Structure 1
Amino acid sequence: MLTREFIELNLYTFGKEFVDTLIPLLVAALAGGVVGLERESHNRPAGLRTHVLVCVGSALLMRVSLAMYDIVLGTGFGNGDPGRIAAQVVSGIGFLGAGTIMREGATIRGLTTAASLWVVSAMGLAVGAGLYMQTFVAVILVMLTLKTLSRVENRIFGHAAYRSLVVQVMDSPGKLGAVASVCGRWGYTIKNIAMRAGPFPGTVEVRFTVKPEGRTGDMASLIADLMSTEGVISVTEEEI
Structure 2
Amino acid sequence: MNELIEPGLWSTALTQASRLATAAVLTGAIGFERERHDHSAGLRTHMLVGIGACVFTLLMVQLIQSFDGDDIRSDPVRIVEAITAGVAFLAAGAIIQARGQVKGLTTGASLWLAGAVGLACGLGDYVLAIIAVTMTLIILRLVKLLE
Q: What RMSD in Å do the two structures reach over aligned CA positions?
A: 1.7
Deviation at 1:85, TM superposition (A): 1.2
**In 2, Cα distance between the equivalents of 1:105 and 1:131?**
42
CA shift in 2, pair 1:45/1:129, >3 Å:
same
Of the two structures, which has the highest relative contact order with CA contacts closer than 8 Å and spacing of 6 or more? 2
Does 2:29 align with 1:46? Answer: no
1:24 and 1:127 in contact (8 A); partners too: yes
Larger Rg: 1
Does 2:112 align with 1:118? Answer: yes
Counterpart in 2 of 1:21?
Answer: 16
Alignment deviations for residues 177-216 of structure 1 (CA, whole Å, 9 cap, x no partner): xxxxxxxxxxxxxxxxxxxxxxxxxxxxxxxxxxxxxxxx
Structure 1, unaligned stretches of length 5 or more? 154-240
**In 1, Cα distance between the equivalents of 2:56 and 2:9?**
20
**In 1, Cα distance between the equivalents of 2:72 and 2:67?**
7
Amino acid at match of 1:81: D
Amino acid at match of 1:130: G
Deviation at 1:20, TM superposition (A): 1.2
- TM-score, length-normalised on structure 1? 0.58
Does 2:84 align with 1:100? Answer: no
**In 1, Cα distance between the equivalents of 2:88 and 2:6?**
41
Runs of 4+ aligned residues of structure 1 deviating over 4 Å after TM superposition are none
Counterpart in 2 of 1:55?
Answer: 50
Determine which structure has the larger helix proportion and give its number.
2
Structure 2, unaligned stretches of length 5 or more? none
- TM-score, length-normalised on structure 2? 0.93
Amino acid at match of 2:134: I
**In 2, Cα distance between the equivalents of 1:12 and 1:87?**
33
Pick aligned residue for 1:137 from 118, 128, 131 = 131
